[in-house]
Amino acid sequence: MNLESLITIQEMFPYFDMLNGPTYVTLVKDLWARAEVYDLEAALAEEDDTVIRNPNLRGKTRQKMGLKSFRQTEIRSSVMGIPITITEELLKPAGSLQMEGSFGMLTELTLS
């Protein structure tokens, strides 16, 4: 069904341009502006900071410290206050991607 004439008559193309253009760009910029790589080094630093704040936690597991368990490198961010976590497991099926090298090197992603 061709709705282009109806959209033209109602002068709604600027509305669709707004939805498909700047909104998406703004969301992506918002996501990457706050993005941080959370790797083993960051997880260990988080544990150290927690122990500095509460020395009684020394030698405890991450769970007993009240921290999320560390399984793999992640990209952490937030959009409109909603936490976003991007992992290798999420990226691979999203674009039929095959990883070459470490997840930390996003430039090494290649299409299969």
What are the pLDDT digits (tens) for 48-97?
999 999 999 999 999 999 999 899 999 999 988 899 999 888 877 765 55
Domain ranges of the chain: 35-111
When pLDDT is cut at 50, 70 and 90, the band that residue 110 belongs to is: very low
The answer to whether the beta carbons of residues 74 and 38 sit under 8 Å apart is: yes
pLDDT band at 37 (very low <50, low <70, confident <90, very high): very high
Q: Quote the pLDDT of residue 93.
A: 72
* Look-up of token digits 């004439």: 5
Rounded to two decimals, the pTM is: 0.57
pLDDT at 23: 58
Residue 39 burial class via C-beta count within 10 angstroms: exposed 0-12, middle 13-18, buried 19 and up = middle
